C-alpha cells in the first residue's frame, strides 16, 4: 500500500510541475516580450515588474487586435488570466532594459519571443 501511495504522490507532483512555468525575463528598451503567440488553452500569469519603469500589458488574440491594457508600475505584481489562443504582450516603452518575474499556470506549451 505504501508503494502505491508514493507512486501516486510522485505522479501527482510530476503532473503539477508540468503545468507550471517560472521565468525571469529581460526585455530590451522599446521592445516587447510575447507569451503564447500560438494555439493553446487558457493560462494564468503572475507577473512582477522588477524594473525601474512602467510596463504595458496587453492581451492579443491570434486573430488580431489587442485589448485589456494594464499598466504595471515598478515593484508591482499583477495576476492575469489569458484566454485560449490569446497572447500576453509585455511592452517595455522605456529607454532602459526591463525585467519581469513570471509564474505561468495552466497551458505551458506557449511560444515565447520578442517583437519591436
- Residues 36-61: what's their mean pLDDT? 95
For all residues of the chain together, what is the average pLDDT?
86
Residue pLDDT, tens place only, 2-16: 444 444 444 444 444
- Residues 33-58: what's their mean pLDDT? 95
Helix, strand, coil percentages in the chain from 3-state DSSP, rounded to 5: 15, 50, 35
- Residues 57-71: what's their mean pLDDT? 92
Structure confidence at residue 18 (pLDDT): 53
The domains found in the chain, sorted by start residue, are 21-115 (2.60.120.380)
Q: Indicate the pTM of the whole model.
A: 0.81
Please say whether the beta carbons of 29 and 95 come within 8 A. yes
Sign of CA dihedral 95, 101, 105, 107: positive
- Residues 33-57: what's their mean pLDDT? 95
Residue pLDDT, tens place only, 96-113: 999 999 999 998 888 889
Amino acid at each position: 500500500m505504501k508503494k502505491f501511495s508514493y507512486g501516486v504522490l510522485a505522479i501527482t507532483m510530476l503532473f503539477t510541475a508540468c503545468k507550471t512555468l517560472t521565468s525571469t525575463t529581460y526585455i530590451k528598451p522599446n521592445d516587447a516580450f510575447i507569451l503564447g503567440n500560438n494555439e493553446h488553452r487558457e493560462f494564468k500569469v503572475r507577473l512582477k515588474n522588477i524594473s525601474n519603469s512602467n510596463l504595458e500589458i496587453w492581451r492579443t488574440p491570434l486573430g488580431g487586435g489587442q485589448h485589456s491594457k494594464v499598466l504595471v508600475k515598478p515593484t508591482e505584481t499583477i495576476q492575469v488570466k489569458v484566454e485560449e489562443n490569446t497572447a500576453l504582450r509585455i511592452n517595455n516603452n522605456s529607454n532602459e532594459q526591463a525585467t519581469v518575474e513570471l509564474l505561468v499556470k495552466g497551458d505551458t506549451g506557449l511560444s515565447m519571443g520578442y517583437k519591436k
